[in-house]
Amino acid sequence: MKLPRTVMNETAQPRYSSRRPSHRVFHRYFPSMSTVLLIAQIIGIIPISATLLFILAKLVSHHCCSREQDGSGYAVLITGCDSGFGHLLAQRLDQKGFVVFAGCLSPEGAGAQSLVRQTSTNLKILKLDVTSDEDVRRTKKMVQDNLPEKGLWAVMNNAGISDWAEIEWSTVQDFRSMIDVNLLGSIRTSIAFLPLVRATNGNIFAFFNCLNMGAYSVSKRGLEAFADCLRVEMASFGVKVSIIQPGNFGQATNILKMKSSLTIWEKLDEERKQIFNQSYVEVASEYFMSMCKAGCEDADPVINAMLHAVTSAQPKYRYLLVPAMDVFFFKIKILT
């Protein structure tokens, strides 16, 4: 059967040639197969190279970070060594060969004396109340006069107090006391010792945490702002500033000062007593106590972070020591 020419031609010709015109149009608007393959290869290469570069950067940074600062010949100053994190860190840095100036509120107290027994003669106990200009001035003189040959490597602003109360149950004086130790104490110490730390391109550390306790949170947020400003200013001098931010380690240290709901109740004026009845205060107190009991009992994660901050060539800006879920919420809070 004869087919119409056009149709026959079509059938007589290989299929591709019958599509040539449209194929050319396709080519005009779209790259050839080899170009597509080339682009695909490039697209494939970019993530692979990026991944390799990322791994390389990580390896280099890990190599840098894993280079530990050797303690010999260097000194560190830690405030609040009577107990808790400061007390434990003083022991660990002493073991690493640093000359440790351990600031204690009560040099004759049990905490300071146990530190003396457990450490080498390189550790010096100094009386240091961070709210006292006079103590800070005297401590600076003492440190300056007893510096090892390489100088002061780090200042750990660790001294701190905590309290809990709803804001309305607090007085301005409660806020003032908290700020005086947690915020102004760190500022006072940092300003005094900056020239010594700058000389060694060393480190300054601040502690803070927000446990939804009004006065405490205000003092620690202020400290965070101070640390961030100081980090930027000190960068050109090669001085690193880090924030150590533990979550709830209330069971690992002496930071939580217990107070009964009755103590809070008795402190309230009549107006407040009308607004908050006694059982409200009791529930709030029970909640706080349950939070305290849930605190981590092991201080090691915090001490290890502090050690990393002091001894690593690349200390982090912030050491956030909280459960993974809290890190997630923390990041969301920063972004919103």
Alpha carbons 87 and 110: distance in angstroms, whole number: 11
Which residue of 113, 114, 122, 131 would you call a contact of ligand NAP, by CB under 6 A? 131
Contact between 155 and 189 (Cβ < 8 Å):
yes
Output phi, psi for 149, to 5 deg. -60, -30
Output phi, psi for 29, to 5 deg. -95, -20
Neighbours of 201 (CB within 10 A): 13
Which residue of 130, 136, 264, 306 would you call a contact of ligand NAP, by CB under 6 A? 130
Between residues 2 and 257, which has the closer beta carbon with respect to ligand NAP? Answer: 257
Contact between 115 and 91 (Cβ < 8 Å):
yes
Give me the numbers of helices (H) and strands (E) for the chain, helices first please.
15, 7
**Cβ contacts of 254 within 8 Å, gap of 6 or more:** 83, 84
Between residues 194 and 256, which has the closer beta carbon with respect to ligand NAP? Answer: 256
- Write out the E strands in the chain: 74-78, 99-104, 123-127, 151-157, 203-207, 240-246, 318-321
Which of these segments, 3-11, 192-200, 253-261, 327-335, binds ligand NAP (CB under 6 A)?
253-261
Which residue of 93, 123, 128, 264 would you call a contact of ligand NAP, by CB under 6 A? 128
Shortest separation between residue 38's beta carbon and ligand NAP, angstroms: 55
Shortest separation between residue 82's beta carbon and ligand NAP, angstroms: 3
Per the residue annotation, which of 16, 29, 216, 287 is the catalytic one? Answer: 216
101 lies in the site for ligand NAP, by CB under 6 A: no
Binding residues for ligand NAP, total number by CB under 6 A: 30
Which residue of 85, 98, 169, 193 would you call a contact of ligand NAP, by CB under 6 A? 85
255 lies in the site for ligand NAP, by CB under 6 A: yes
Which residue of 79, 189, 200, 311 would you call a contact of ligand NAP, by CB under 6 A? 79
319 lies in the site for ligand NAP, by CB under 6 A: no
Which of these segments, 23-31, 123-131, 144-152, 267-275, binds ligand NAP (CB under 6 A)?
123-131
Structure tokens at 30: 């779209």
**Cβ contacts of 249 within 8 Å, gap of 6 or more:** 85, 255, 295, 296, 299, 302, 321
Between residues 72 and 118, which has the closer beta carbon with respect to ligand NAP? Answer: 118
224 lies in the site for ligand NAP, by CB under 6 A: no
The owner of tokens 């800070």 is 136
Neighbours of 140 (CB within 10 A): 18
The yes-or-no answer on residue 317 being catalytic is: no
Between residues 18 and 251, which has the closer beta carbon with respect to ligand NAP? Answer: 251
Shortest separation between residue 167's beta carbon and ligand NAP, angstroms: 19
Alpha carbons 17 and 98: distance in angstroms, whole number: 83
Which of these segments, 5-13, 153-161, 261-269, 307-315, binds ligand NAP (CB under 6 A)?
153-161
For residue 248, what is the enclosing H or E element? none
CA 217 to chain centre: 15
Alpha carbons 223 and 78: distance in angstroms, whole number: 16
Interface residues with ligand NAP (CB under 6 A) are: 79-80, 82-86, 105-106, 128-131, 158-162, 181, 185, 207, 209, 246, 248-250, 253-255, 295
What amino acid positions are annotated as catalytic residues?
A: 216
